[in-house]
Structure 1
Amino acid sequence: MNGSAHTTSTALDIHLKRGPAGLGFNIVGGVDQQYVMNDSGIYVAKIKENGAAAQDGQLQEGDKILAINGHELENLSHTAAVDLFRSAGEDVHLRVLKRPPLSANGPASSRPDGESSSPFMTNAVITVALVAGLAFILYKGLGAYRRRF
């Protein structure tokens, strides 16, 4: 990945009215929990069904939220960003960098430059491989232990 995930994206202003279930989306990212390599921004992780964001229809998973009610989100911890969202009031103005649309004529990869669809998936694969290796070592070690008696 080249560190600039949104070079061809466009910024958009979105106004949401907080509903009974809040704004209707989850966020990821921050300086302490980078979601995109070399980018400490705040991203939309999930749009909740029937929430304010889903009903509005403009905000999409993968969009980068640049500001909320004029407060820029760059260089904030995840917790600080969550606090801004919680205290934003009923009428919320978001400045959003839209994720680039996937091109039908693009590469076979679903992401530009073949980047992983999720850093969590990469971590999961590495974790499974490590656990399998550890299990193999333990199995072989216990087998040798059993043979002594």
Structure 2
Amino acid sequence: MNGSLHSNTVDIKLKRGPAGLGFNIVGGVDQQYVVNDCGIYVSKIKEDGAAALDGRLQEGDRILAINGVKLEDQTHKAAVDLFRTAGEDVELRVLKKSSHHINGPSDTQADHAPSAPYLGILAVLTGAAVAIFAIIYIRNNRRPF
């Protein structure tokens, strides 16, 4: 990886809680989450879990290492096993998802993850706007009897 990728790299220490570390992962060499990228990514932060309570780890972040073990070129199962056996105190090296380069070239493809929720919101807002314009049009074009 080049140096620009590491400008958003942070180390996060978590203490395993009753529900584990409190997040799910996706990715690996056998289950690519991002096209042409074998990285391990955070797919979900569980409410009230260790990661949510800490607040620094976010969905879409790429986990580069756990307790000093690099996750590069790991299968999904191998990465899951590393998380399960990591102990109570866990140190993560994380590449934060960058949002400042959505309209330009990027060093990482994390921003290209599926964005279905945003499309759904856009569809609802578009439908609402059409309905409002239809009501205004009908009111302004009524003819008295």
TM over 0.5: yes
In the alignment, the residues of structure 1 paired with residue 60 and residue 89 of structure 2 have an alpha-carbon distance, to the nearest angstrom, of: 22
Cα distance in structure 2, aligned partners of 1:44 and 1:9: 19
1:93 to 91, 94, 119: 91
Measured in 1, the distance between the counterparts of 2:79 and 2:19 equals: 18
Displacement, 1:101? 2.7
Instruction: Note the C-alpha offset of 1:118.
Output: 1.1
Partner of residue 28 from structure 1, selected from 26, 33, 58: 26
SS, match of residue 93 in structure 2: strand
Number of aligned pairs? Answer: 110
- Report what 2:137 is aligned to: none
Provide the TM-score with structure 1 as the length reference: 0.66
Distance apart, 1:57 and its partner CA: 0.2
Q: Contact 2:28 / 2:76 at 8 angstroms: preserved in 1?
A: yes
- In structure 1, runs of 5+ residues without a counterpart are 122-149
- Aligned mates of 1:77, 1:120 — CA distance in 2: 26
TM-score computed with the length of structure 2 as normaliser: 0.67
- Distance apart, 1:9 and its partner CA: 5.4
Identity of aligned residues (%): 65
Moved more, 7-16 or 29-38: 7-16
Gaps of 5+ in 2: 118-145
Task: Give the AA of the match of 2:19.
Answer: A
Opposite residue 60 of structure 1, the aligned amino acid is Q
Q: Name 2:133's counterpart in structure 1.
A: none
Counterpart contact for 2:33–2:113, Cα < 8 Å: no
In 2, are the aligned partners of 1:42 and 1:73 still within 8 Å (CA)?
yes
